[in-house]
Amino acid sequence: MKSELKPPRKNFKSGDVVKVRFETMALGGRAKGVPLDADPIVSVFVQGAAPGDLALCRVTQVVKRYIEADLVEVIEPSKCRVQPACPHFGECGGCQWQMLGYQAQLSAKEELVRYILARKGIDRSLIKPIIPSPKEFGYRSRVDLEGFLSPERCELGFFKSRSHERLDIRTCPILMEPMDGSLEEIKTAILNVRDIAASNIPFKVRLIYDQLNRRILVMPFRGTLRGRGESTVFVLDDAKLHVMPENGPMPGYQVGHFQIHFDPTGFIQVNPFVNEHLVKKAVEALKPEKTDEVLELFSGAGNFTMALAQSAQKIFAIENSPDIEMAKQNADIAGLDNIEFIQSAALDAVQFLNAKQSKADLVLLDPPREGGGQELMRAISRLGPRRIAYVSCHPRSLALDLESLIMMGYRVESVQPFDMFPQTYHAETLTILDFHG
């Protein structure tokens, strides 16, 4: 019979101010602590607090097992607390952890990955020390901002923390410097192109720093970008917006000695400095040989594909979005002829291969935040790969998929976290699995 959680010694209600000692960071960016005047089994979650803080917090919600609260005052600041670099921090919903020193951020992310995977029975010792970002700020090459145009001005920014109210920003230190230093120029340039958006109607703007061509791309849009032709792509030049020529150079970034060109409406890893390490580690850990056939799922514009094709006999690259067309161009530019590109949903492609009784020696997958799902994991296992490399940006969905693969006879060899997103709670991971029947 399960033991009942003891109720707090105090019956908290919304609006109460409680003194809390914070211990750890939790998934979602909040700090987790215990109220000093209640049973220690009751947890308090607060945005903006840091491990080691002693603070006054105002209760916003009381749930059976925990309390949510807002930070009112830090009485004793933690040793890991630092002055945020951004003047908008706290009000802006873009970053969550700028109040933490960088080493504290790394430790918290590493521990979060260990905690979440351990709950699914994965040995904590298999999680390697996190690989830091070479840049704590100025790393982000792409961002989608909320826009609003009035006859007098253009506002660009993020939603405020826990709100749908827009915040007009002057600076964003996590953006690559050319973009961060040009935000006011971009606003003025948008204001001068009146057909970008109607006045008083919200829209979005995607900013990309095209590293290969050293230029800023500006893309106003509404809704969700689903492929080419859904937005005009402008180039910022001399404080003005010019339509990007269709026959001009495509935007791109470097991975090793490969140039990865991409469609501005598609997906790219936003931190090219960490991405370089991620691709290298993934290929080294997967260990493709010249006789191997590799199945790559969610292959995008070829971020991993080109490096894999150097070592393997054959790559089957599966991608359901228009990004696959850019991947084909990238392969042609690189002179690689051992890649077969298949535009398909991952599950449909793997089920088709299973129906043909095909086999794969190795598999690499890089799914979206929601993961691949149990059905896909089972289908992958039926292909009989001896080794799987799983790239994930969400530990919880990773944990569920690993649970499925373990049931299919695979064993986790290692989990390598990467800090792809400094100043936020997000962490990227590379998990390597071997088949052990």
- Residues labelled catalytic: 393
3-class DSSP assignment, residue 340:
strand
Q: Which residues pair with 158 in a beta bridge?
A: 167
Cα 93 versus chain centre, distance: 15
Pinpoint the alpha helices (H) of 183-304: 183-191, 272-286
CA–CA separation, 221 vs 207, rounded Å?
11
Contact 258, 334 (CB under 8 A): yes
Mark 84-105 as b/e (b = at least 16 C-beta within 10 Å). Answer: bebebbbebbbbbbbbbbbebb
Tokens (6 digits) for 400 = 């569920």
DSSP string, 32-58: EEEETTS-TTSEEEETT--TT-EEEEE
CA atoms of 329 and 148, how far apart (whole Å): 36
Compute how many other C-beta atoms are within 10 angstroms of the C-beta atom of residue 4.
6
Rounded Cα distance between 53 and 21, Å, is: 6
| Rounded Cα–Cα distance for residues 157 and 271 (Å) | 20
Sheet holding 166-168, edge to edge: 166-168, 154-159, 142-149, 203-210, 215-221, 234-237, 240-243
Triad 237, 217, 268: Cα angle to 5°: 155
Q: Are 390 and 406 in contact (CB under 8 A)?
A: no
Element (H, E) at 17: strand 17-25
Instruction: Of 231, 230, 179, 188, give the one whose Cα is nearest residue 207.
Output: 179
Count CA within 13 A, CB hemisphere, residue 310.
16
Burial of 232 per CB tally in 10 Å (0-12, 13-18, 19+): middle
Contact between 328 and 319 (Cβ < 8 Å): no
For the CA atoms of the chain, what is the radius of gyration?
24
